Amino acid sequence: MGFSALVASALCTFLLPLLLFLAAVKLWDLYCVSSRDPNCPLPLPPGTMGLPFFGETLQMVLQRRKFLEMKRRKYGFIYKTHLFGRPTVRVMGAENVRHILLGEHRLVSVQWPASVRTILGSGCLSNLHNGQHKHRKKVIMQAFSRDALQHYVPVIQEEPRQASPDGEQQLVEAFEEMIRNLFSLPIDVPFSGLYRGLRARNIIHAKIEENIRAKMARKEPEGGYKDALQLLMEYTQGNGEQLNMQELKESATELLFGGHETTASAATSLIAFLGLHHDVLQKVRKELQVKGLLCSPNQEKQLDMEVLEQLKYTGCVIKETLRLSPPVPGGFRIALKTLELNGYQIPKGWNVIYSICDTHDVADLFTNKDEFNPDRFMSPSPEDSSRFSFIPFGGGLRSCVGKEFAKVLLKIFTVELARSCDWQLLNGPPTMKTGPIVYPVDNLPTKFIGFSGQI
């Protein structure tokens, strides 16, 4: 074979596929950008759309924080990308996020990625809209009223003192598998993320159905109070609706995800920050001592809602933890019409992700942002400027239904931790990862030792 033939063969083998690939990427970019609204004079936000079909999903899933930090440095507070099969604009900053969160049902509507909708189901609160969402939220909120929270306090107080029974290990593993695959490409084939997530979800649904049928047989709730699942069951029966087992299972699964994973993430971050800042832990203990919560077991004041509300500094420690390490990094919306935001257009039908973690990072309200300083929350700040600078529970009509429950749980956890033990982080300051909830890469190996009670 002559030299020219070898060159031609090499071109066909290597160069032609490369050119075709580059052409496909360019056509993909043009296709994505072609959905720009021609009736709006504003440009699309800066950014890139990634690979054909896959967009930048794989890069985001694999790199997470590194990917998002690179995008923010390069493109600023608003940029376009293509994630989970949809053209997407990612938004951060208090003023930008304010427009999104207060535009629910008018400018935007909630729409999680297809994999989330498929795994959690259409019957859960986060996938409902308008009147359905309003009524369902009203029912669930009864489970998180102040009276209900008072009933939960002694139950929560026992949790840090106990470990999960061995019989629940399969359920825990299934739950973790579901969470790992919640955000995945919408491809339901064997061994795909969506396939594994659905298989794990089915194990969880089977266990929840057992509990629902047990509640139906028991009639009266245990302990004299009604949990969210009991209230939903009564709501469907009271309105003459047929009890929809699938919707109840989906609602319960969503509450487990929203309540368990997020508070577990925040509790882990609390251990990390207090382990790294012993001076803050000592101030927490000082507050507990003043309130009569750091005495011998026979002299300790009983925990209740009134006592918990008096722990102002402990509450600030939790706020600072949620500022630096919010468990949920952001939320998903879809543009109901073309939006104009900070000099850019967001076309109708595009997904919008508002970022909680980045909004905290860039907030002008906070000085020395990287410093763990709970005292910053001790003095009140102007409501208008702080409202959307600190949004660990989201905001607007879609703010977290269980946020008051989470605050109570984390306060009790902090109290029990501070008055029962000291601890040391064996690997030092952890590196945090998002998947989709924030957690330490090394799972935070920690050595706990009994606390003497001396300050």
DSSP string, 132-194: HHHHHHHHHHGGGSHHHHHHHHHHHHHGGG----GGGHHHHHHHHHHHHTSS--S--STTSHH
**Would you state the pLDDT for residue 2?**
62
Q: Is residue 271 part of a domain?
A: yes
Q: Higher pLDDT residue, 21 or 190? A: 190
Using the predicted structure, report yes or no on whether residue 232 has a pLDDT greater than 80: no
Per-residue pLDDT of 119-148, as tens digits, reads 998 878 888 887 788 888 888 888 888 888
**Would you state the pLDDT for residue 455?**
60
**Least confidently predicted of 36-40, 239-243, 310-314:** 239-243
Its domain, for residue 194, covers 35-450
Residue range 44-53: mean pLDDT, rounded: 88
Quick one: tokens of 343?
Answer: 């000099």
Q: Is residue 412 part of a domain?
A: yes
Between CA 405 and CA 150 the distance in angstroms is 10
Average pLDDT in the chain? 85
Share of the chain above pLDDT 90, in %: 43
Residue range 387-396: mean pLDDT, rounded: 91
CATH number at 133 reads 1.10.630.10
Using the predicted structure, report yes or no on whether residue 391 has a pLDDT greater than 60: yes
**Would you state the pLDDT for residue 182?**
87
**Would you state the pLDDT for residue 219?**
65
The listed range with the strongest mean pLDDT (233-247, 369-383, 432-446) is 432-446
Handedness of CA 179, 185, 186, 188 (dihedral sign): negative
pTM of the predicted structure, to 2 decimals? 0.86
Per-residue pLDDT of 349-385, as tens digits, reads 999 999 999 999 999 889 899 999 999 998 776 444 5
Using the predicted structure, report yes or no on whether residue 167 has a pLDDT greater than 60: no
Confidence category of residue 320, pLDDT binned at 50, 70, 90 = very high
Spatial contact of 312 and 14, defined as CB atoms under 8 Å apart: no
Overall domain count for the chain: 1
Q: 3-state DSSP call for residue 429?
A: coil
**Would you state the pLDDT for residue 321?**
97
CB neighbour list of residue 119: distance below 8 Å, 6 or more residues apart: 178, 181, 182, 194, 197, 198, 201
**Least confidently predicted of 278-292, 315-329, 390-404:** 390-404
**Would you state the pLDDT for residue 11?**
59
**Would you state the pLDDT for residue 64?**
78
Using the predicted structure, report yes or no on whether residue 318 has a pLDDT greater than 90: yes
The listed range with the strongest mean pLDDT (204-213, 252-261, 267-276) is 267-276
**Would you state the pLDDT for residue 32?**
67
The listed range with the strongest mean pLDDT (62-71, 216-225, 326-335) is 326-335
Residue range 40-56: mean pLDDT, rounded: 89
Using the predicted structure, report yes or no on whether residue 166 has a pLDDT greater than 60: no
428: region left, alpha or beta (phi > 0 left; psi from -120 to 50 alpha): left
Which has the closest alpha carbon to 453: 422, 426, 410, 411?
Answer: 422
Which has the closest alpha carbon to 221: 174, 151, 281, 150?
Answer: 151
Q: Is residue 29 part of a domain?
A: no
**Would you state the pLDDT for residue 285?**
96
Q: Higher pLDDT residue, 60 or 76? A: 76
Q: Is residue 186 part of a domain?
A: yes
Confidence category of residue 156, pLDDT binned at 50, 70, 90 = confident
Per-residue pLDDT of 398-435, as tens digits, reads 888 889 999 999 999 999 999 989 999 999 999 988 87
Residue range 103-108: mean pLDDT, rounded: 91
Q: Is residue 9 part of a domain?
A: no
Confidence category of residue 94, pLDDT binned at 50, 70, 90 = very high
List the Cα angle 392/393/396 in 5-degree steps.
120
Spatial contact of 282 and 343, defined as CB atoms under 8 Å apart: no
Q: Is residue 16 part of a domain?
A: no
Q: Higher pLDDT residue, 147 or 80? A: 80
Q: Is residue 280 part of a domain?
A: yes
Spatial contact of 49 and 56, defined as CB atoms under 8 Å apart: yes
Q: Is residue 15 part of a domain?
A: no
Confidence category of residue 216, pLDDT binned at 50, 70, 90 = confident
Using the predicted structure, report yes or no on whether residue 164 has a pLDDT greater than 60: no
**Would you state the pLDDT for residue 240?**
57
**Would you state the pLDDT for residue 362?**
92
Q: Higher pLDDT residue, 422 or 215? A: 422
Spatial contact of 385 and 365, defined as CB atoms under 8 Å apart: yes
**Would you state the pLDDT for residue 334?**
94
